[in-house]
A and B are shown apart, each in its own frame.
Chain A
Amino acid sequence: MKEKNLRIKFVPYEKLKEQKFNGIIRDLKHNTIIMVDAKLNAKEEAQIIAETMRNVSEDFSGIEFGSIDLGAESGKGNLSKIKGALIERIIGRKRGVTIIGPANVVRKIKKNPKELLLHL
């Protein structure tokens, strides 16, 4: 049986934004799971879906992705929310993590507020 390698690559959010998702699509096409140190905002999520669709082929059917929003989980009170929003404004990204995997490797990502379950 042919051995199949799976890579997990960390991509800083700033680099992801700079490359406008082109770079990670190249990686995703080569059995690489991408881990980003931020929760993508909704418009970025739509961008990544659109970029994926532009690249769908016989060999690359698309992606599965999911995020954990640490900002939403850090505190439920209004003060915590304001503090969290302020921190995110300063660091320029939403606190959290995003996992993006090629659909032929990651069949499904189940999301709970505090964890992501990857079905391989």
Chain B
Amino acid sequence: MVVRHFRVMKNRIGSLIRSLFRKRKEIKIGLYGPVNSGKTTLANRICMDWLGEELGVASVVPHETREIQMKESVTIEEDGKKLTFNLVDTPGIATKIDFEDFVKAGLKKKEAKERAREATKGVIEAIKWLDKMDLVLVVLDSTKDPVNQVNITILGNLDARDIPVIIVGNKIDLKNSNLALIRNAFPKYKIVGISAKTGENIKELYKALLREL
């Protein structure tokens, strides 16, 4: 209980300090998560909703996003509140990248090797960019078991850097989506269930963002 109160206090003081410096620098909101959790689909949803254009290409082939992509000056507005930020889409974090997986997904061997090489660089870049974020949306696939080392490492690193986090349980439009698994695995975090593909519950995410920053 004491630890929890301490964490809440720490987050509030952090938010206060960040709000004092907000005018001096641009806010960066990062999309982090494992491969194929829907980060780029969510980035595109946010950009389409507020800018009328997409950020990047989303695909079912793993590691479609292999470079950091940023959309500047995204302004969201909800219930009279407004927030402008730079949206940063990052490559999916992974502990292994096997070019054979890309071959199985239909790529030629040479292309698959190139994609694997680029994907490894993308993971390193994503880790480096952690320090630059003011808030991170950790995008998890709500149809999958959330207890894995990649998710634990991402959340642990954000905690260690005192970066505010909202966990986005994506793909709630799918039958086997189970947000309770995410809630049980990471009880201390703010969790919002959405479908980046259909836009279901996306307003709740915007409200959460406005509350958090």
Task: Decide if A66 touches B149 in the complex (CB within 8 Å).
Answer: yes
- Give the nearest-CB partner of A43 in chain B: B160
Question: Could you say which of B99, B120, B149 contacts A64, with CB atoms under 8 Å apart?
Answer: B149
Given contacts A58-B99, A78-B3, contact A109 B149 (CB under 8 A): yes
Q: How would you classify the secondary structure of chain A's contact residues: helix, strand, loop or mixed? A: mixed
Binds B, one of A7-15, A19-27, A30-38, A46-54: A46-54
The residues of A that contact B121 with a CB separation of less than 8 Å are 53
Q: Check B106 for interface membership: any CB of A closer than 8 A.
A: no
Q: Check A103 for interface membership: any CB of B closer than 8 A.
A: yes
Given contacts A46-B127, A49-B127, A111-B149, contact A61 B3 (CB under 8 A): no
Complex CA distance for A29 and B165, rounded to whole angstroms: 35
Binds A, one of B80-88, B90-98, B172-180, B201-209: B90-98
Interface centre among A45, A49, A61, A65 (most CB of B within 10 A): A49
- Give the nearest-CB partner of A111 in chain B: B147
The residues of A that contact B3 with a CB separation of less than 8 Å are 78, 81
Complex CA distance for A54 and B127, rounded to whole angstroms: 13
Binds A, one of B17-25, B134-142, B151-159: B151-159
Task: Decide if A41 touches B94 in the complex (CB within 8 Å).
Answer: no
Q: Check B113 for interface membership: any CB of A closer than 8 A.
A: yes
Task: Decide if A41 touches B99 in the complex (CB within 8 Å).
Answer: no
Q: Check A86 for interface membership: any CB of B closer than 8 A.
A: no
Task: Decide if B160 touches A50 in the complex (CB within 8 Å).
Answer: no
Q: Check B2 for interface membership: any CB of A closer than 8 A.
A: yes
Task: Decide if A56 touches B116 in the complex (CB within 8 Å).
Answer: yes
Interface centre among A41, A50, A54, A109 (most CB of B within 10 A): A50
Question: Could you say which of A43, A54, A65, A78 contacts B95, with CB atoms under 8 Å apart?
Answer: A65
Please give the distance in Å from A2's CB to the nearest CB on chain B. 20
Interface size on B, residues (CB 8 A): 28
Q: Check B124 for interface membership: any CB of A closer than 8 A.
A: yes
The residues of B that contact A43 with a CB separation of less than 8 Å are 157, 160
Please give the distance in Å from A48's CB to the nearest CB on chain B. 8
Question: Could you say which of B99, B147, B160 contacts A42, with CB atoms under 8 Å apart?
Answer: B160
Complex CA distance for A77 and B127, rounded to whole angstroms: 34
Complex CA distance for A58 and B156, rounded to whole angstroms: 30
Interface residues of A (CB under 8 A from B): 41-43, 45-46, 49-50, 52-54, 56, 58, 61-66, 78, 81, 103, 109-111
Besides the known contacts A43-B160, A61-B97, 20 further A-B residue pairs in the complex with CB atoms under 8 A apart: A42-B156, A45-B149, A45-B153, A45-B157, A46-B130, A52-B95, A56-B97, A56-B116, A58-B113, A61-B96, A61-B98, A62-B94, A63-B95, A63-B96, A64-B95, A65-B95, A103-B96, A103-B98, A111-B147, A111-B149
